[in-house]
Amino acid sequence: MRDFYREQLGVSTWPFFYANLLLLIGVMGQAGLYGPFVLKYFSTSIIGFVFIGFVFALPWLALFVVTYLKQPILPPRPFRLLLLSVMGWYALFTLLAEILNFFGYMPPESARYAFRLLRVLMYVGWLSFIPLVYSYIAVHRHELRRGSDNQT
């Protein structure tokens, strides 16, 4: 069986499995942390849950959709930009959650809101950066190598 990701992007698909799994865990932690904060600004809980699910699941969903297929649907450069944007989106909302928690905008720690568990889940999401950075570097090297092959 041919590995089209290795041929076209220079990276195998194994890092994306781990990145998707870790990012999903982190996204669940983010959504849980932002849940009480966001839900008080929506008139109905259903709209709030849809908003939370869409905003915080977007990086995981983008990575999952692009890497789900057997063949890559993006060329190397847009694929690298997607990896960067996924990492940037996740980092932005994780740091924003910590800033909101520091300034006291999040609800206080209680049994009702398991913020320690949600923060641990959110921190597990940072581990997804290891396979994502590995993939970014591998795709970049492959792109440089193919570029130099085309010039000679």
Would you give per-residue pLDDT tens digits along the chain (152 residues)?
467 788 888 888 889 999 999 999 999 888 888 887 777 777 777 777 777 778 888 999 999 999 888 888 999 899 999 999 999 999 999 999 889 888 887 777 766 667 888 889 999 999 999 999 999 999 999 988 887 555 44
User: Which of 120, 20, 8, 101 has its CA nearest to residue 61?
Assistant: 20
Residue 1 lies in a domain: no
Q: Which domain holds residue 50?
A: 7-145
Rounded Cα–Cα distance for residues 30 and 33 (Å): 5
Residue 130 lies in a domain: yes
Q: What is the pTM of this model?
A: 0.84
Domains held by the chain: number: 1
pLDDT, residue 88, reads: 95
Residue 95 lies in a domain: yes
Residue 125 lies in a domain: yes
Residue 42 lies in a domain: yes
User: Which of 80, 37, 74, 68 has its CA nearest to residue 55?
Assistant: 37
Residue 27 lies in a domain: yes
Residue 150 lies in a domain: no
